[in-house]
Structure 1
Amino acid sequence: MANRNHAKKEHAYKIIDREIKSHSVNNLLFFYGEEDFLIHWAVETIVKEYVNEACRELNFSRLDGNAVTFEQIRNNCETLPFISEKRVVLISDFKLIEGIKSRFINEEEEKLLVSYLKQLPEHCILIITADSADKRKRLYKAVLDQGSVYEFGKLDESSLISYITKRFRKSGKKAKPSVIAQIIETSGYYDKDTDYSLYNLENDIKKAIAYNDDIYIEPESVYNTISGNLDTDVFAMIDSLSQNRKEDAYHILHNLLSSGENEFKLLALLASQFEIVLAIKEMKEEGKSFLQMKEILGIHEYRIKKAAFFTNKYTISSLKKILMKIYNIDKSIKTGLLEPSLALEIFISEI
């Protein structure tokens, strides 16, 4: 079998989409990564392409990767398709390929599985999915050697914009570039350690479409329907502070506290965001390029763009003073000198 593994420059969904359309899909596939939405899409698209919908239950098997045995895998793969071009077998959430031991497949059976992957029948497409991959495992190496591996990470900015635009268009709606940018920023899709995924975005887009009666999606719709995350709210607070809109900053703070957010977590995020702004400010003054900043900071370019927006509103000296205030407030809370919510209010009043 040809080894068709691909560089990260092109997203996995584009590669697999092209291969499905050209009917050149390998019969051993491994999908992993943080974008479950795209992994689910890829599996369903393959099933629709190769399996007769009328006989789906006979030709598509979904095996639980946490409890599957080698015999179950082999028996399902060996079963011939019925009135369909291929039989598709899915092993979902297969922890063994992540390097986690299975109670149902011992070491000897794993060797048998590795050997079996080299002789998969042509009538079968075997798809393995997992959250991550242990690239040291012989199972991963066998899939890499005999099949195709696809990492479904987050979409790049242009692909995300295209996805949002197409979703609105499909529903008879339109959105200006500024509104789409607002959706991306409010959602926090690119924020560090966020759990906001395309599943969340898909649901939020549906809510925005239902909320908006006009053809054009309005900024108000975004504000009222995009769920976003804590990082986004903290950025909004910093934005309010940078424009001396302290009432807005207090409003954001009180909303976060009333929703149960932890004061220490809020303070840590404020420190992290201002540290990024300071780092970008210093690197800009040193003449470093955007690519150099991205490499040094090791964060997504969208986060750099968001933070860079504030660099013209603060001097290096003022940013250092703000960070010192945050560090001192953190110390005062931990030593019992200040009550956490009061300390955060004092911070806003003194900026």
Structure 2
Amino acid sequence: MNILERKIDLINYEVYEKEIEKGNIINGYIFCGLDEELIKEGINLIVKKEINDEAKELNLIKIDGMNANFDTIMNACETMPFMSEKKVVLIYRANFLQDKSDSAGTKLYNDIKKYISNIPPYTILVMYYLFKDKRERPNKNKKITALSKFASIVYCDKLKKDRYIKKIGEIFKEKGKAIGRTELIYFSEKVHNNFDIIKREIDKIISYCEDREIKKSDIDLLISSSNEDDIFDLVELIAQRKIDKAIDIAKEILYKSDQHMLMISAIQRHFLRLYEIKLGVLQGKRVENFISELRLPQFVCEKLMGQSSRFTEKQLTELIKLCVSTETKMKSTGIDKTMEMEFLLINTLTVKK
């Protein structure tokens, strides 16, 4: 189907999957989102549908969007496919699609924008752009929306629960490891919703459990909760002094749980842990010591050690005091807890190194 034969809409991954299954494939696609693994799987659906394995190397052209130039892209699109009706030209990590780019990126974007309506009928041009954080949306990106006249915009966001669990189950099956239904659901709820991370977590659990069955206790041991990830991200933004974004994450956490006291306690505990790690590092402790003391996987300890290095000992002490003060205020009746949480985040800017 030619891109000019139908109205192009912003679609999610599940709608896109159904379109590909029906054979409704057009000449232009832009994938965007945080989950690069899900994006790659989506692109692979087109490749499998349109290019046979024997001719794949000749008819799948991959171009690095970070170092691309327009002549290379146009030549790849214009060259006829070899022993196939279609060819796929993939521009991966197309950072020229971000709202603000350098002069070279802006020029490349403008050249592609002029050309995209004239793509040969035998070429499927696919681009993907990875969002910088979870607050980015394709409908707020002027460059992407401007191209929606000529290409289908596929937003790779979170899958619906049943599809999400099924897809994770399929990954376990592909890797030759059985997992019980109860454990699969528990794993799906606990793991961070990103298939690049999910695949690494699955590999870790398979390696840890070896030939025995996977238990919930294994999942608890090896995977931190998504709420802990949110708190980690929030503290990282505090370290970067990006308080507006930290407030956005705080609102997202409260939207999911609406538990202000639990949230302030979690932030306080996180700062306390960073403080303990900071002191430990100053005493000469290594990652192996923290794995034993905290009973956490190595990669988690390494992340926490890295984050603790972004703060001074004095900063962490003052941030803990700030959390205690905010928690005390929140226990008073008639206090706007959401506002107090915002005040806490704003006041972190006053804590000096």
TM-score bracket for the superposition, by shorter chain length: 0.5 to 0.7
User: 8 Å contact 2:8–2:150 — kept in the other structure?
Assistant: no
Greater alpha carbon shift after TM alignment, 64-73 vs 162-171: 162-171
Partner residue, 1:293: none
Contact 1:61 1:88 in 2 (8 A): yes
> Helix, strand or coil for the counterpart of 2:100?
coil
Matching residue's letter, 1:166: E
Once residues 316 and 33 of structure 2 are traced to their aligned partners in structure 1, the CA distance between those partners, rounded to angstroms, is 27
1:74 Cα shift?
1.4
| 8 Å contact kept, 2:59–2:82 | yes
Partner of 1:151: 155
Query: What is the alpha-carbon distance in structure 1 between the residues aligned to residue 167 and residue 46 of structure 2?
Result: 20
> For the structure 1 residues 111 and 163, does the alpha-carbon distance in structure 2 shift closer, same or farther, using more than 3 Å as the test?
closer
1:206-254 CA-partner distances (Å, limit 9, x unpaired): 222333356742012213333657815979xxxxx99xxxxxx89x948
State the AA in 1 paired with 2:29.
L
Q: 2:205 aligns with which of 182, 203, 208?
A: 208
Q: Are 2:88 and 2:125, in contact at CA under 8 Å, matched by a contact in 1? A: yes
Does the Cα contact within 8 Å between 2:47 and 2:88 map onto a contact in 1? Answer: yes
Shift of 1:154: 2.7
For residue 31 of structure 1, give the secondary structure of its aligned residue in structure 2: strand
Which residue of 1 is the match for residue 298 of structure 2? none
Q: Deviations over 1:26-79 (max 9, x none)?
A: 111000111111111112222222122222221111112122222222111111
Give the match for residue 161 of structure 1: 165
The correspondence of residues 1-351 of structure 1 with structure 2, limited to 5 A, is 1=4, 2-6=6-10, 12-104=12-104, 107=107, 110-132=109-131, 133=138, 137=142, 139-170=143-174, 171-177=176-182, 179-184=183-188, 186-187=190-191, 189=192, 197-212=194-209, 216-226=213-223, 231=228, 253=273, 257=277, 258=290, 259=301, 260=305, 261-262=307-308
The CA deviation at 1:316 is 7.3
Q: For the structure 1 residues 111 and 229, does the alpha-carbon distance in structure 2 shift closer, same or farther, using more than 3 Å as the test?
A: closer
Deviation at 1:203, TM superposition (A): 1.4
Q: What amino acid is aligned across from residue 202 of structure 2 in structure 1?
A: I
Tell me the matched-pair count: 266
Q: Secondary structure at the match of 2:46?
A: helix
CA–CA separation in structure 2 for the residues paired with 1:47 and 1:232: 34
Question: Residue 151 of structure 1: SS of its match in structure 2?
Answer: strand
User: Is residue 70–residue 105 contact of structure 1 (8 Å, CA) maintained in 2?
Assistant: no
Superposed CA offset, 1:133-164 (max 9, x none): 58564x53442012210111233433332223
Say if 1:32 and 1:150, in contact at 8 Å, map to a contact too: yes
How far apart, in 2, do the equivalents of 1:176 and 1:134 lie?
Answer: 37
Identity percentage of aligned residues: 23
Instruction: Please give the TM-score of this superposition, normalised by the length of structure 2.
Output: 0.60
Q: Secondary structure at the match of 2:149?
A: helix
Q: State the SS of the aligned residue for 2:206.
A: helix
TM-score when normalising by structure 1 = 0.60
CA contact (8 A) 2:172 2:179 kept: yes
Letter in 1 for 2:116: L
Specify the SS of the correspondent of 2:9: coil
Equivalent pair of 2:13/2:157 in contact (CA under 8 Å): no
Unaligned runs of 5+ in 2: 132-137, 233-260, 263-268, 278-289, 291-300
Answer whether contact 1:62 1:89 (CA < 8 A) is retained.
Answer: yes
Contact 2:168 2:188 in 1 (8 A): no
User: Does structure 2 retain, via aligned residues, the 8 Å contact 1:165–1:175?
Assistant: no
Q: Is the 8 A contact 1:208 1:226 kept in 2?
A: no
Change (3 A) 1:213 1:49: same
RMSD: 4.3
Gaps of at least 5 residues in structure 1 are 191-196, 236-240, 243-248, 279-313, 337-351
The question of whether the paired residues in 2 share the 8 Å contact of 1:52 and 1:83 is answered with: no
